[in-house]
Structure 1
Amino acid sequence: MEDENAKLDQLRNFSIGIQAAMFAAFGALIRTHPNPAALSQMMETYRQREQTHLENKALPEHVLDCFHQAWARFDIEIQQALKDDQQQPQFQG
């Protein structure tokens, strides 16, 4: 039993590390994308597609809850990127 608990702790810690790295990487990609509006639209399309996929699988409800929590973090970055893009001075050439 102790060995199982250690393995579960190891898996949990691994998952937390992967999740943190994923949020950092995606945050950087979102914030530096040259067209935040197009990125926002495409990410919404992919979110809907993946959510439908998850909803059609026999998974525990907390999987979908976790998906929504993760997506909320991505959405914060997207909304900030959109706001930053709107505040950029528009050059006329």
Structure 2
Amino acid sequence: MVRVLIPSIAVAAAALGLAPPAAADESALLALQPQFAFLTTDQLLREGYWACRAAASGMGSSQIVPMVQQHLEHSGASLAVANRIVSTAIVHLDC
């Protein structure tokens, strides 16, 4: 029984380790564009990927959201806008 189980576990682990990474879905982030017309596509993507990197480095959304708002301050983005960008990015950009 053990002889059969160990190779099976090894094969499963190898398959998971060699699986291609999931692709980022920028379209979900860009779907926010009509709601936030005061932001450019570049701004949305830049802040989305920045939020993703920040989350991957261990920052929590309570830290990320105000920083995104600060990045977009000159555009008039509110905390609610920043929160929507961060949450959409974390879910759809495969952070």
* TM-score normalized with structure 2 length: 0.33
Larger-Rg structure? 2
* TM-score normalized with structure 1 length: 0.33
Name the structure with the higher helix share: 1
